[in-house]
Structure 1
């Protein structure tokens, strides 16, 4: 499958089965995803996996962050969550926003690779991604920020998938540089 075909085939799967890639399978995909453009080769990202009871602990941290009385059931929607973390490195050449873009690129590349390998994926976020409670659960350092989680599992029947993502009309987002004044 070409990169273009992978992009055109990509779908978000809001419902997933309990099947999930093994640690070894995930590691091979992470190795490929880590090849995104990375100015100065800082590798300003890392990934944290959550399986089993780790997802319950995340639900408890979300509840603490949002003031809810009960743990959030959201992390139980997939058998594997992969937290995408920006790890900002000290650099005179590469600003923090660019490093966060690299981490985001790794997350997106990994989602494409997981999809190509036959897994269902949806990237989930929320205001609590930047909360103290959720950061502490993930062991984030002072220069790290959580961008969200890739929820990964088996793909259910096609009829259960999220609505078809539509392509982008290039006329709405692609333009030439404005003329000089």
Structure 2
């Protein structure tokens, strides 16, 4: 079996994606991992000579394994957050995409998208509550398991847990 080492397997068959898409932009209420993937795919299709990407909506839908309607909705989110400008060139019947770099600084990001802070803080609180519930459930489960564990009581009254041998 061949193993893949990201640090040494640089054959050019990859597309770099800015971590800000996953670390900051997913703090926006309507920006999901699919939107980051669309941006990454547009980056893959970017033609440096022309200065834009020009895949068809059908190509994008195929790459994202979704419908063309979903691609259209996802494109509007990228436009909304300033990650892409979409235009149609004369004589072409598909869109062209001018990619803009994502904001990578948290302070600048929140200045540009203040709604992200409130949404993210709400998500953090919900996540922490889930984590606490999970930890509490684990403690309860362990206590129940100990309480339900069969014991052997010696004639002097001392009880010891019975342990399964097999």
TM-score of the aligned structures, taking structure 1 as reference length: 0.26
Question: Relative contact order (C-alpha < 8 Å, sep 6+): which is higher?
Answer: 1
Structure (1 or 2) with the greater helix fraction = 2
Larger radius of gyration: 2
Q: Which of the pair is proportionally richer in strand?
A: 1
